Structure 1
Amino acid sequence: MKTSGVNSNIVGEFATGATITDNGEIFKKMILMDYNSLNVNTLTHELGHFFGLKHTFMGGCTGLNDGISDTPPAEDTYEDTYKDCIAPVQCNGQRRLIENMMDYGNCRFMFTPGQALVIRNTIATKYPHLCTFQLLADEKIDITSNVTVTDLRIPNGGMRKTFIKELEEPQEIEVYPNPVKEVLIVRNAEKEKFTIFNITGQQVLSGTLHSGQIDVNALSAGLYVLKIKNISKCFIKE
């Protein structure tokens, strides 16, 4: 992909989205996106690069990888689509963490605690102006009431029909508390079979949901992936 008006010294790999930098100088650092392929996963992935993260499959099974201990190594290849979000078993028998935002594919939704630490450290050291706090009592905050209310009601019962339709549609599965100490609560998934994997892809617990609860007290502290049907949810065990 060729670009115009971009400094020739800027380094970057231009794909669907690319993070490009010039010696780490923020005024020349940007995220270049292909408008036709723009989506939340691609933008989040490129923001990960912006804040210091590398691909989880970098280096393959034998290389240095991304330098983060809680992202398991993966083969230096990838799929655009994983059917039913079933992850392949790869390096040293470890499950590929296809849910990670720094991989590719259709199942991404999470960062690991190690990746979050890298992001926080990058912000603190390179972009401290992004990490600011302002108290509600701060005089700089404008608390003047200036609210405009728009009537969004649909005539002829349209809103009621929309509401009924939403009730009939399947509800998204939710898990809490997160982090959890003893009992993980799962909403909207009564009597469903579940499987829990640790960060290396090993199955550590399975069963059938009863009253929307899973006893995770026996699990060691760490990051886990809960899989119910074709849905994966990440949680942290304290």
Structure 2
Amino acid sequence: MKTTQRITCLLLLLLGTHLFAQTGVKVTYYDGTEQQFNVQPAGKLYFDADNLFVKADAGTTPTTIPVSIIRKVTFSEALGTTTFGQNTDNLVLYPNPASESIRIKSDTSTELKTSIYSLTGQRILQGVFQSGQDIDVSALSAGLYLVQVNGVTIKFSKK
């Protein structure tokens, strides 16, 4: 449970500077389904040991989502009338877990601006990669990391 708490807290730290100006929140589940929220300035997003709570506005009851079923959480600017938070790159990180290298696959030819963070929030690696290009992680200690790719955060486990 502590690992889950650390991952979720780090996710908020990584993206926390963007939360004040952004209101679109998309939760992607391990089964591939997605849930979108439009969080007003009076709303909030918070965690306890096992759950993510999304409170869209001060007067609403929060939506409770078990952290164990969440693959990723992404944020975007105010929704307006545009479609929110579509991961048009369809990013996939593999293998996961990995020991020597990882690859990030994207459906587009867009450069992948990538950063790897430890659970303490320290940036371990940063670079720009192409879809399918090897990213050497052999020097990393075994454990959990967060990989941020073009604004999308993905959990990664190093063996």
Q: Which has the higher strand share?
A: 2
Greater RCO (CA < 8 Å, at least 6 residues apart): 2
Report which of the two structures shows the higher radius of gyration computed on alpha carbons.
1
Using structure 2 for the length normalisation, give the TM-score.
Answer: 0.47
Q: Which has the higher helix share?
A: 1
Using structure 1 for the length normalisation, give the TM-score.
Answer: 0.33
